[in-house]
């Protein structure tokens, strides 16, 4: 058995409960894959997107749905060492990927401001555009369970609203394109265990701006890292805290909210208050 085959086998054997079943559940529950889809798996070089590519390969081989799969890697200006690491991991995992280049890092550097926000927006647009040129109607990103619950708290603490990443989204700017997140129910700790079990080493963050920041300041002061620490603290007191946050997203009690927003329009509980009183 080759190393690639061993890695693939680990997904449906050793990590069947922790990763594979949760991946399948999310795909089915949110109807992410449809007959004759052409899906582009966007690989950044990190553990999450690489695992996603393997899961998508496996479901294409063994699933009931017929669809086309294309793996794409965008080089926004990575160092030669980072690109070499990505290519090495693609070979180890048996992933045949389309690699294309962009000048995102240079543009972001010249623009100034918040590099992560601008980079993320530009990356998404480039990925949609390239995937569409390959005939794809969907792109798949490697956001996982922890990203979902962290986004809830980030939105509450820093954005004054309650929202999170959606399992799938219709693109506003690219016609007939959708975004899906098949690892929506897979916890990050299990992804990390999969990496350790298979002795896999992926890029942590290949962004040169992040590297510069970490070199100058070792303090973990990003908002998302603070939220991670907060959830870890809560989990030490209640091991189901993250599951409870996730479940609450699917169990919103509108009747017990003073206000909410629907399709951009704000609503108040007062709209139906008199009706509820019988007036």
CATH number at residue 75: 3.40.50.620
Residue 269 lies in a domain: no
Look up residue 2 and give its two tokens.
């080759």
Residue 265 lies in a domain: no
Residue 270 lies in a domain: no
In the predicted structure, residue 226 carries a pLDDT above the cut 90: yes
Give me the pLDDT at residue 39, please: 98
Residue 251 lies in a domain: no
In the predicted structure, residue 215 carries a pLDDT above the cut 50: no
* Total domains, the chain: 1
Give me the pLDDT at residue 125, please: 84
CB 15 within 8 A of CB 51: no
Residue 223 lies in a domain: no
Q: What confidence category does residue 138 fall into, taking pLDDT thresholds of 50, 70 and 90?
A: very high
CB 167 within 8 A of CB 184: yes
In the predicted structure, residue 149 carries a pLDDT above the cut 80: yes
Residue 242 lies in a domain: no
Beta carbons within 8 Å of 136's beta carbon, 6+ residues apart: 38, 39, 40, 68, 70, 177
Give me the pLDDT at residue 219, please: 41
Most confident of 7-11, 62-66, 112-116: 7-11
Domain containing residue 36: 3-213
Q: What confidence category does residue 217 fall into, taking pLDDT thresholds of 50, 70 and 90?
A: very low
The pTM for the full model equals 0.90
Q: What confidence category does residue 2 fall into, taking pLDDT thresholds of 50, 70 and 90?
A: very high
Residue 138 lies in a domain: yes
Residue 261 lies in a domain: no
């Amino acid at each position: 058995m080759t190393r690639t085959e061993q890695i693939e086998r680990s997904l449906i054997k050793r990590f069947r409960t922790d990763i594979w079943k949760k991946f399948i559940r999310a795909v089915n529950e949110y109807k992410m894959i449809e007959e004759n889809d052409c899906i582009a798996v966007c690989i950044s070089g990190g553990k999450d997107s690489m695992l996603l590519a393997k899961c998508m390969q496996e479901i294409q081989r063994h699933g009931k749905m017929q669809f086309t799969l294309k793996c794409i890697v965008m080089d926004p200006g990575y160092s030669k060492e980072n690109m070499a690491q990505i290519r090495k991991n693609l070979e180890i995992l048996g992933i045949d990927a389309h690699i294309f280049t962009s000048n995102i890092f240079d543009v972001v550097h010249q623009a100034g401001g918040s590099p992560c926000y601008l980079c993320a927006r530009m990356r998404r647009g480039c990925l949609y555009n390239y995937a569409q040129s390959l005939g794809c109607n969907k792109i798949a990103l490697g956001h996982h369970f922890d990203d979902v619950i962290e986004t809830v708290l980030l939105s509450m603490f820093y954005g004054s609203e309650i929202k999170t990443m959606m399992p799938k989204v219709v693109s506003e700017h690219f016609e007939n394109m959708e975004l899906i997140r098949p690892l929506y129910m897979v916890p990050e700790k299990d992804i990390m265990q999969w990496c350790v079990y298979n002795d896999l080493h992926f890029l942590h963050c290949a962004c040169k701006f992040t590297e510069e920041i970490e070199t100058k300041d070792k303090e973990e002061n990003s908002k998302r890292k603070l939220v991670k620490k907060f959830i870890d603290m809560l989990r030490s007191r209640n091991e189901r805290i993250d599951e409870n946050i996730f479940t609450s997203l699917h169990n919103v009690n509108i009747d017990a909210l003073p206000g909410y927003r629907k399709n951009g329009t704000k609503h108040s509980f007062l709209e139906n208050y008199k009706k509820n009183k019988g007036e």
